[in-house]
Structure 1
Amino acid sequence: MDLGLSKAKRPDKFDFVLIALLVLMMCTSLLSIAAASGIIGASTSTFYLVKQAAFFIGGFGVIAILHYIGNDSLFDFAKIGYWILMGCLVLCLIGHIYYRFTGAEKFLGFVSTVNGATSWFNFPVLGSFQPSEYMKIVLVIITANVIDEHNKNKSIDSFELDFNLFIKILKWALPPMILIFLQPDTGVCIIIAISIVAMVLCSGIKKEWIIFIGVFLLIAILIFAFLYVYHYDFLGKLVGGPYKLTRFNGWLHPEENVGGDGYHLYMALLAIGSSGLTGHGMGVNLVDIPEAQTDFIFAVIGQSWGLIGTIFIVILCAALDLYLCRIATACENMFEKYIVIGVLGILIYQQFQNIGMVIGLLPITGITLPLISYGGSSIISYMIAFGIIFNASCKSKKHVE
């Protein structure tokens, strides 16, 4: 395996803008977690703050290592990571089956079930590890390679060749997605699907496929809405039980479900709605926001710094997204270009979903706000992705200034 350590193979430029944006994200994340101290407690907030800072420092270390190694052997590393993570996901599935039959939230001492989902490994001293977070980045790399190799070897455009591309991608993506879905973690499955769709749509497939995918998604949404309104009980059976639809009830009618599935959204809306232009100030938390340091950190930002704070977050996210678009446009290496597109798809979806659910535009899914919410696996996996993107940007002849 060629690590690409020679000077000739390493990137020859340095992307200060991307690093500056990531540092700004880190500072915003740490301030936001500190602002949640009035809700989760000062000592707990300090604990999360120190760990989050350590995650970011480790993440920048990962970027430095990847910068030294280069992107030449990415696919080789991704294949190794894929099979290691598949083993981890199988352990999670066994742990979930064990939990369903025994009620025990620990399997083998480290496979953990939290809120009914067996998605975590917890180790003493080392902390927690979520395999699915890393799998979504590994699948971006593998899918990018599959698309790149497919396009290099095809001589004409045809529906048959496009269909063959889909099959090649599904051979890699479907097994881990099934295992993740059975944990159950629908949110990560959607994230993986979004990243793959984003890369496929930019792969040069015939435009008829794009129309087909769009029409299919629209029809699926309309059918779901129709069944929810007119055949609620049937839809409940279809998705595995009416209890799975309670989040939609809490989303559509939070005031009527404050004691149940509407509680999280109701408190988030109350926190943001009462904050005004500048908010109540850092650490002044008049509303007890649930999951303040993770899923609902955007509500904490709104409560602390008001409309100005929330607009700042939206602008910061948009700035990072637009810069990644420029990097993708500048990439001459198609493999790296597809990776940037895949990561961008994940990033935009998570931002839109998290902010949308906190302000009531979308149902609550448990998806965090990237690079701002607390979470080691999320931070490190994203920094791996940004390390790859950093290399792609640095060595591009059309380097983004």
Structure 2
Amino acid sequence: MTGTVPPRSPASTTRTGTRATTPTGRTTQPITEGTDARRGGAPGASRPNGSGQSADRPTGLRAVTVSLGRRFSEGDRDVSLLIAVTLALVVYGLVMVLSSSSVEEFAAGNSISDKFVRQGLFALVGVPLMLIASRLPERFWSAMAWPLLVVGVALQALVLTPLGYEVNGNRAWIDLAGFSMQPAEVLKIALIVWLASVISRKEKLLNDWRHAFIPVVPVLVIAIGIALLTKDLGTVMVIAVCVLGALFCGGFPLTYLALGGIAAAGMSIVFAATSPNRVARISAFYTGDCDYEDLCWQSTHGLYALSAGGFFGVGLGNSRAKWSWLPEADNDFIFAIVGEEFGLVGALVMIALFVALAVLMVRLLVRSTSTFRRTIIGGVLVWLLFQGFVNIAVVLGLLPVLGVPLPLVSSGGSALLTTLGAIGIVLAMAHADTNETAARSRPRSGEGARRTSPTASRARER
């Protein structure tokens, strides 16, 4: 039987879930409970506006998210701060190189800014190099482990050829078509990256002494053995310590690390004992019986410079020690010039920058989830921290003179380039950790579609 169903008033509409349904089966727009009652009208009533649409049409409430750009994670902040601290140390170093080397360059008949200009050019190359290295993926550095090692060992071996030359009794430099460099700086990076690659590949086999010793021990013996032939004990100590730091952070068994540390200490003692000059310097340091005009000249005038600086210093450019009183004023003893010209305040600022550098790297190290990344970050951290500590301790008279420059601050183009490159690799490892954390936090494919509201689920059931 067919007929015409009389229309019903809006008040007689029935509600199912969140939608109003008429007897004819047509579904109206979603409504909100109580909306019409609050407005004083019957449920479903609407007031037309000038556009022909319902001005008071009830609609469901929806959340709107406005994106103001990608939020910075904790790792991003640490990366940005690490770049800022590194640049601050580089700028601090450039200012001090200009001040500490001006007299020496003038006495040599050069422009007083010659060393500063050279150091500045290396900084202009090194900072972009650091940023480029920071954007290279982890797999790139893993693939470059063996090539870097071969290049590092080959450059170090060139020191023993006619290309090498001696400075202050240490044959540790080479001259390549007018470009002077210290190959040991490249060797540090090469060993750290190579150790990271080896340890990450053999991580589960390191408890077996055969896998732990091969190929690590033979390669280290060759690389450090060649470095020992250059007679630069300070640089060899830094290489050995950064290797031990990389192995420790990479999870190398502590028993084998202890054996390696004992072997390194024994070699250092033997190597120092075979050099009469080193024996004299070490004995003078511990006994206090020192020839002022010979062995103790440099260390004594370094302390004179620090004491002359007082609390606020004598002012930038006003150092007296750099007037041929302090050898290596722009290199190994540049911290003494910092203390003289900027006083205790300036020296503490520089120390605070190195402490900040170490803290930021420790944060990146703790956050890292990959053995490869931890090994690299830990190796570079120990390298820079130990070398900076040794340099400052020598100036303060806490250690005998070892001839170790202050990272990022002392003059030296190859040292500045390699140090900035090493920090760039650390930044690359930090970026890899951040990307991995972000990938884990994103929902998997299809997971978002499965997450539906209860209202939508009930609507599908109906």
The TM-score, its normalising length taken from structure 2, stands at 0.70
Q: Does 1:195 align with 2:242?
A: yes
Offset of 1:308 from its aligned partner?
Answer: 0.7
1:316-340 alpha-carbon deviations (Å, 9 max, x no partner): 1000011000111122222011100
What CA distance in whole angstroms lies between the structure 1 residues aligned with 2:228 and 2:258? 27
Selected match of 2:95 from 21, 25, 31: 31
Q: Does 2:222 match 1:175?
A: yes
Cα deviation, residue 111, structure 1: 2.8
Separation in structure 1 between the aligned mates of residue 266 and residue 227 of structure 2, nearest angstrom? 22
- 1:252–1:18 Cα change, 3 Å: same
Distance 1:252 1:285, change over 3 A: farther
Q: Which of 166, 171, 182 is the matching residue for 1:113?
A: 166
- Shift of the alpha carbon at 1:219? 9.0
Report the more deviating stretch, 163-172 or 256-265: 163-172
Q: Is the 8 A contact 2:148 2:194 kept in 1?
A: no
Higher alpha-carbon deviation: 199-208 or 243-252: 199-208
Of the three residues 204, 213, 219, the one matched with 2:251 is 204
Name the CA distance, whole Å, in 1 between partners of 2:341 and 2:159.
37
More off after superposition, 58-67 vs 312-321: 58-67
Distance 1:87 1:38 in 2: 35
Aligned-pair CA distance for 1:213: 6.5
| Alpha-carbon distance in 1 for matches of 2:328, 2:90 | 19
Q: Which residue of 2 aligns with 1:103?
A: none
Indicate which of 249, 265, 274 corresponds to 2:308.
274
> 1:395 Cα shift?
3.0
Higher helix share: 1
Residues 11-44 of structure 1 show CA distances to partners (whole Å, capped at 9, x for unaligned) of x968322221111011110111122146424555
Match of 1:301 among 331, 335, 338: 338
1:135 aligns with 2:172: no
**Mapped partners of 2:265, 2:119: distance in 1:** 41
Q: How does 1:80-95 map to 2 (within 5 A)?
A: 80-93=147-160, 95=161
The alpha carbon displacement at 1:128 in A equals 1.0
Report the secondary structure of 1:344's partner residue: helix
Query: Structure 1 stretches of 5 or more lacking a match?
Result: 1-11, 96-106, 225-234
Query: How far off its partner does 1:206 sit?
Result: 4.7
Equivalent pair of 2:309/2:344 in contact (CA under 8 Å): yes
Pick aligned residue for 2:140 from 42, 53, 73: 73
Q: TM-score, normalised by structure 1?
A: 0.80
- Equivalent position amino acid for 1:293 in 2: D
**1:349 CA drift (Å):** 0.8
2:138–2:432 Cα contact (<8 Å) kept: no
Please tell me the root mean square deviation across aligned C-alpha atoms, in Å: 2.8
Distance 2:259 2:167 in 1: 38
CA contact (8 A) 1:195 1:343 kept: yes
CA distance in 1 between partners of 2:284 and 2:230 (Å):
23
Greater relative CO (CA pairs within 8 A, separation 6+): 1
Q: CA shift at 1:239, angstroms?
A: 2.2
Structure 2: segments with no counterpart, 5+ residues = 1-74, 439-462
**In 1, distance between residues paired with 2:201 and 2:103?**
51
